[in-house]
């Protein structure tokens, strides 16, 4: 039985040095005159938004900043942003920052036009109206949020990271400027880069993978495998930074069209319960989950290993296992903190693991994994990673 598949990307993607400064021209091309810039307090106070504001104002736009987003955007950040937007009545949202401001910008854009609370739209395809035009300007090389039709907003009342997916969430323009990543500290380079690698790998092994997303997934894995370590070791190496950011963008395109799988499914509850950064949480899980999942589709994992630059061995399984070992070694090299270093203890896990496994399964992502994990297996994996 054949089934058609759709493939969506932002209508405009500009990639390269200085792309972020094209924001004025892109805003004009959208016919907009009044921009609400959504960012976080650090981006604002450090002056990182300055060139974006200048470019918008040089193009004749009015601007106002909402910098109330923190590292885990929740419903309160969205409602504050919405209140400011309604008062200011902008016709454009420009989201600048890491995954959090981008996700918040997406949420604000669609909640201006869709009534009721965000929690009503959890899941896929529930939004009914397009939002305000959104220009996404990432400052990390990781989430790929600039190219995806998802946003993740935490409902703190329920300790759930809500995954909301809709074509209406896809940015109208993505301005992907590697110059903006040169200042990233090592820990952030590692966590965000490994998040991107996880996107590439999960998109490629996903049961929802498709020929169009495969191209982007494999290219992303190759770019990140070749360049992430160098970008981490030599923060000022523009070539490595640029290729890492291109990999992150391509990985975003891949998973937006193929979905993520067990690592992300298990990672979101860790973030929601223990407030561990998304990339760190993924990195801790990635190696173990790859090893667990290989038997579900050894050929795909062997392709991942080959894209990482490993020689193919006799038998897909052996190549696949070598790939998982390579990824584990990379994660060690990049010195990503482990769960126990982040304060996740056995006692706390005893309390939370059941709910975390339930929330993981409820998100739907684990159902895309090549090997389907039972609730007990998910709990076991949490303990194994700890």
Q: Which residues bind Fe ion (CB under 5 A)?
A: 195
Q: Are strands 123-124 and 160-165 parallel, antiparallel or unpaired?
A: parallel
Task: Tell me how far apart the alpha carbons of residues 294 and 304 are, in angstroms, rounded to a whole number.
Answer: 11
- Give the nearer residue to Fe ion in terms of CB position, either 74 or 195: 195
Start-end of H helices in 89-185: 99-111
> CB of residue 264 vs Fe ion: minimum separation in angstroms?
6
CB 50 within 8 A of CB 39: no
**Distance from the first to the final alpha carbon of the chain:** 42
Considering only CA atoms, which of 68, 116, 113, 123 is closest in space to residue 86?
Answer: 113
The minimum distance between CB 171 and Fe ion, in angstroms, equals 17
Tell me if 229 sits within 8 A of 330, measured CB to CB.
yes
Residue 13 in 3-state DSSP? Answer: strand
Taking the complex as a whole, how short is the minimal distance between the CB of residue 145 and Fe ion, in angstroms?
9
Q: Which residue is nearest to Fe ion (CB)?
A: 195
In angstroms, give the least distance from the CB of 203 to Fe ion: 11
195 versus 359: smaller Cβ distance to Fe ion? 195
The answer to whether 334 and 232 have CB atoms below 8 angstroms apart is yes
Q: How far apart are CA 144 and CA 257, in angstroms?
A: 12
We find the least distance from the C-beta atom of residue 321 to Fe ion, in angstroms, to be: 24
- Complex with Fe ion: residue 33 or 337, whichever CB lies closer: 337
Minimal distance, residue 253 CB to Fe ion, in Å: 13
**Toward Fe ion, which CB reaches closer, 103 or 195?**
195
- Choice between 38 and 266, CB closer to Fe ion: 266
The side-by-side arrangement of strands in the sheet containing 34-40 is 12-15, 173-176, 134-138, 92-97, 34-40, 62-69
Nearer to Fe ion, 219 or 259 (CB): 259
Cβ atoms within 10 A of the Cβ of 171, count?
A: 29
């Amino acid at each position: 039985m054949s089934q058609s598949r759709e493939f969506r990307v932002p209508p405009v993607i500009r990639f390269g040095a200085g792309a972020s400064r094209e924001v004025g021209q892109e805003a004009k091309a959208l016919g907009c005159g009044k921009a609400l810039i959504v960012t976080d307090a650090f981006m604002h106070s450090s002056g990182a938004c300055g060139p974006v504001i200048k470019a918008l104002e040089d193009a004749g736009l009015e601007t106002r900043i909402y910098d109330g987003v923190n590292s885990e955007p929740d419903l309160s950040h969205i409602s504050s942003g919405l209140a400011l937007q309604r008062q200011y009545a902008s016709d454009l949202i420009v989201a600048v920052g890491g995954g959090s401001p981008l996700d918040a910008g997406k949420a604000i854009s669609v909640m201006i036009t869709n009534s009721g609370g965000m929690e009503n739209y959890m899941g896929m395809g529930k939004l009914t109206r397009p939002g305000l035009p959104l220009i996404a300007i990432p400052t990390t090389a990781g989430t790929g949020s600039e190219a995806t039709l998802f946003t993740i907003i935490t409902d703190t009342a329920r300790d759930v990271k809500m995954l909301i997916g809709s074509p209406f969430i896809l940015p109208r323009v993505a301005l992907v400027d590697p110059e903006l990543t040169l200042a990233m500290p090592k820990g952030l380079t590692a966590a965000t880069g490994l998040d991107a690698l996880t996107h590439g790998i999960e998109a490629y092994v996903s049961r929802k993978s498709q020929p169009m997303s495969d191209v982007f997934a494999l290219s992303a894995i190759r770019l990140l495998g070749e360049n992430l370590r160098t970008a981490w070791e030599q923060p000022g190496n523009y070539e490595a930074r640029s290729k890492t950011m291109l990999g992150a963008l391509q990985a975003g395109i891949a998973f937006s069209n193929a979905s993520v799988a067990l690592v992300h499914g298990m990672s979101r509850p860790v973030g929601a319960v223990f407030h561990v950064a998304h990339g760190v949480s993924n990195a801790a899980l990635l190696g173990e989950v790859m090893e667990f999942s290989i038997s579900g589709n050894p050929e795909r994992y062997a392709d991942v290993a080959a894209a990482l630059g490993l020689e193919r061995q006799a038998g897909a399984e052996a190549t696949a296992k070598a790939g998982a070992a390579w990824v584990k070694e990379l994660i060690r090299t990049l010195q990503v903190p482990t769960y126990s270093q982040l304060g996740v203890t056995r006692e706390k896990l005893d309390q939370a693991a059941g709910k975390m496994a339930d929330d993981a399964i409820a998100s739907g992502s684990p159902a895309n994994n090549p090997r389907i994990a039972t609730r007990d297996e998910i709990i076991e994996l949490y303990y194994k990673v700890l």
